[in-house]
Structure 1
Amino acid sequence: MVAAPFSALGSLSVYDSYDETPHIGTRFPNKSVQLSQLLAAPNSDELLKDLATLVSHRGVVFFTEQDISIEKQKELGTRLGELAGKPATSTLHVHPISEQTPELTADVSVISSEGGIARTGYSKSARASNGWHTDITFEPVPSDYAILKLHTLPAVGGDTLWASGYEAYDKLSPAYQKFLEGLTAQHDGSGFREFAKAENKIINEPRGSPENTGSHLTAVHPVIRTHPVTGYKSLFVNKGFTKRILELTEDESDDVLDYLFRHVSENHDMQVRFRWNLNDIAIWDNRCTFHTATNDYQGLRTGNRIVSIGEKPFFDPSSLSRRKALGLDEAAGLPTDKKKPM
């Protein structure tokens, strides 16, 4: 007898879906599955709690041709975090350089090829792998879930890639895992400070939590964090915002971070690449993923992103890795520990 593979779908199992890769990404391909309908369903809390759980396990979940309004997108972002157990003080994030307009409030981030948040620090001559990041880790209380809907697309190009922080941890050797556990790193959003200064803008505050204040845009988080929903260990450093591992010398930190950044960007077997269609939605968990846009297109690419604030990152030494918790290596007949040579 072989145990059935683990599924985090719960009440969402009544809808057609499939996993994009073994480690990250689930898609609901049928446009009849509308998030607006899940929000209004009689068992809405059950459906949305299961959706939050699914996103936390699979990293990112995709929905096809959604009719959800920006107000309902904000409601969805709020309820996902609340139903997953985030602190009552955590709300939707207000990006440091977001602008409030008559159409959009400051807790909506406009993701546009024309500039702003999506293009801060972008250089067409730089390596594409430089774009890998996790949203707003420069905040003392960073994000749990993020929801992006693209309403304007180029004719071709502009894909987004996500990578699994769970699998990034699991692909490290046991010795390296043990070395990283308990270390802490400084995260810095200096690019947004510089943008605000150049544009004569004021840094927005507070930003979704009473602790997310000030214009310094720096925070210290564990290098390996425990996910509060799944209980899995995840790598939690990213090239966009992580600047220094505090317990190491500067040279040591640079070497370790360079290795971990390449570990994320060069391991395509823990990544998923999503080709957008108009009004598709991606929902991802910033506690266990990294992502990057593909700047290979011409024309306008624009959408609205909602980022929810979660809890302060923590590391529980007794937590398990995803592979160990799900018995993935045992199921594949792979050794779980390397034996010392005789």
Structure 2
Amino acid sequence: MSPAPTTLLGSLAAFTAYDKTPVIGTRFPDASTQLSAFLTAPNADKLIHDLATLVAHRGVVFFSAQDITLAQQKVLAQRMGELTGKPASSSLHKHPVTVATAELDEEISVISSKGGIARADVKDRARASTGWHADITFEPVPSDYAILKMHTLPSVGGDTLWASGYEAYDRLSPTFKAFLEGLTARHDGNFFVKFAEAQGISVQDNRGSPENTGTDLTAVHPVIRTNPVTGFKSIFVNKGFTKRIVELSEDESDLVLDYLFRHIAENHDLQVRYRWNKNDVAIWDNRSNYHTATHDYFEVREGNRVVSIGERPYFDPKSKSRREVLQLKA
């Protein structure tokens, strides 16, 4: 365990933290460090801004045994985006197939082994690597931050893995980077429409941005994306939703996407694996990271997720890579 650099922690340096790996993941292991207290602290805006900045740099940040409520979870997600410059028109995402219940509203997604959105496109006997994705990239204006609190866990198993899009980009050759920059890809989540039809429910509209509307869950985004908080370049395709590179033939697109998907899934040294405990919270940046659950258990596994909407993805040709900015060996 190496300590998280103070320059990234900012005001969070007051709390015990360590990096889970050199490239992705920071953990606050002490249960006395409560996100709910951040929201009511005299310096709340500073703490939340620094938390959002840390998540943007480190990809995913973990907190132990949290008492944060669903209402507070929503406030925290929205404030993280607001304090790091997301558009005023962006709020919290309403998942296309999440409906309000007596206990939960449309801005809370239940991530459950019993069914629902987490199981909507899961295929039996498929490779585990098919599960890698970033949340809701099928939306024209997708997510910046997501917050997941796990409240029900199997006795063993059910870990989640995250992978760094920054490091995935940095591992490519200069020629391949140049080839990918400026390309765009189509992201497709229309399997959720089929899921809604099978469940007899309507697809949610007005999903956190005026642009996230209608029942055609497709969008075109840059293959290489610039994160507006860090300024770093990242690969922005994922196995779950990215179907075609627009500027290439179908065969060429399949070859390139297959390489990028394997590049993300098979490089375990740009990933972090987290073993959950009850009421742990993970906060991640969907702009520059991917994640996948581990379906290796037989008991119930369930948590509640809030997804914040950010900005339209863009590529800034003047932006730099993480390793370039930090002057790390390529």
Structure 1 regions of 5+ residues with no counterpart? 330-335, 337-342
Give the structure 1 partner of residue 295 of structure 2: 295
Q: Is 1:229–2:226 an aligned residue pair?
A: no
The whole-number CA distance in structure 2 between the counterparts of 1:7 and 1:226 is 21
Give the structure 1 partner of residue 7 of structure 2: 7
The whole-number CA distance in structure 2 between the counterparts of 1:194 and 1:102 is 25
The whole-number CA distance in structure 2 between the counterparts of 1:148 and 1:78 is 14
Shift of the alpha carbon at 1:300?
A: 0.5
Give the structure 1 partner of residue 40 of structure 2: 40
Q: Which string of whole-angstrom CA distances, capped at 9 and with x for unpartnered residues, describes residues 223-280 of structure 1?
A: 0000000000000000000000000000000000000000000000000000000000
Give the structure 1 partner of residue 143 of structure 2: 143
Report % sequence identity.
68
Secondary structure of 2:48's aligned partner:
helix
Q: Which string of whole-angstrom CA distances, capped at 9 and with x for unpartnered residues, describes residues 179-209 of structure 1?
A: 0000000000021011011112111011000
The whole-number CA distance in structure 1 between the counterparts of 2:7 and 2:184 is 32
Q: Is 1:89–2:69 an aligned residue pair?
A: no
Q: Which runs of 4+ in 1 moved over 2 A?
A: 4-7
Q: Is 1:285–2:285 an aligned residue pair?
A: yes
Shift of the alpha carbon at 1:217?
A: 0.3
Secondary structure of 1:325's aligned partner:
helix
CA contact (8 A) 1:144 1:287 kept: yes
Give the structure 2 partner of residue 61 of structure 1: 61
Secondary structure of 1:38's aligned partner:
helix
The whole-number CA distance in structure 1 between the counterparts of 2:284 and 2:8 is 15
The whole-number CA distance in structure 2 between the counterparts of 1:294 and 1:142 is 24
Give the structure 2 partner of residue 80 of structure 1: 80
Moved more, 220-229 or 7-16: 7-16
Q: TM-score, normalised by structure 1?
A: 0.94
Q: Which string of whole-angstrom CA distances, capped at 9 and with x for unpartnered residues, describes residues 11-52 of structure 1?
A: 001111000000000000000000000111000000000000
Give the structure 1 partner of residue 113 of structure 2: 113
Shift of the alpha carbon at 1:177?
A: 0.4
Query: What CA RMSD, in Å, does the superposition of the two structures yield over aligned residues?
Result: 1.0
Q: Which string of whole-angstrom CA distances, capped at 9 and with x for unpartnered residues, describes residues 127-171 of structure 1?
A: 000000000000000000000000000000000000000000000
Secondary structure of 1:291's aligned partner:
strand
Give the structure 2 partner of residue 133 of structure 1: 133
CA contact (8 A) 1:152 1:300 kept: yes
Give the structure 2 partner of residue 159 of structure 1: 159
Secondary structure of 2:323's aligned partner:
helix
Secondary structure of 1:166's aligned partner:
helix
Give the structure 1 partner of residue 261 of structure 2: 261
CA contact (8 A) 1:166 1:235 kept: yes
The whole-number CA distance in structure 2 between the counterparts of 1:156 and 1:20 is 20
CA contact (8 A) 1:183 1:223 kept: yes
Moved more, 121-130 or 107-116: 121-130
Secondary structure of 2:254's aligned partner:
helix
Give the structure 2 partner of residue 318 of structure 1: 318
CA contact (8 A) 1:36 1:67 kept: yes
Equivalent AA in structure 2 for residue 240 of structure 1: G
Shift of the alpha carbon at 1:60?
A: 0.1
The whole-number CA distance in structure 1 between the counterparts of 2:173 and 2:6 is 24
Secondary structure of 1:130's aligned partner:
helix
Give the structure 1 partner of residue 28 of structure 2: 28
Give the structure 2 partner of residue 210 of structure 1: 210
Shift of the alpha carbon at 1:315?
A: 0.3
After TM superposition, the structure 1 = structure 2 runs for residues 234-245 of structure 1, keeping only pairs within 5 Å, are 234-245=234-245
Give the structure 2 partner of residue 174 of structure 1: 174
Secondary structure of 1:9's aligned partner:
helix
Equivalent AA in structure 1 for residue 244 of structure 2: R
Please tell me whether Structure 1 or Structure 2 has the larger radius of gyration of its CA atoms: 1
Structure 2 regions of 5+ residues with no counterpart? none
Secondary structure of 1:328's aligned partner:
coil
Shift of the alpha carbon at 1:124?
A: 3.0
CA contact (8 A) 1:148 1:283 kept: yes
Give the structure 2 partner of residue 333 of structure 1: none
Q: Which string of whole-angstrom CA distances, capped at 9 and with x for unpartnered residues, describes residues 306-329 of structure 1?
A: 000000000000100000000011
Secondary structure of 2:8's aligned partner:
coil
CA contact (8 A) 2:6 2:13 kept: no
The whole-number CA distance in structure 2 between the counterparts of 1:122 and 1:287 is 23
The whole-number CA distance in structure 2 between the counterparts of 1:170 and 1:12 is 28
Give the structure 2 partner of residue 193 of structure 1: 193
Q: TM-score, normalised by structure 2?
A: 0.98
The whole-number CA distance in structure 1 between the counterparts of 2:99 and 2:215 is 16
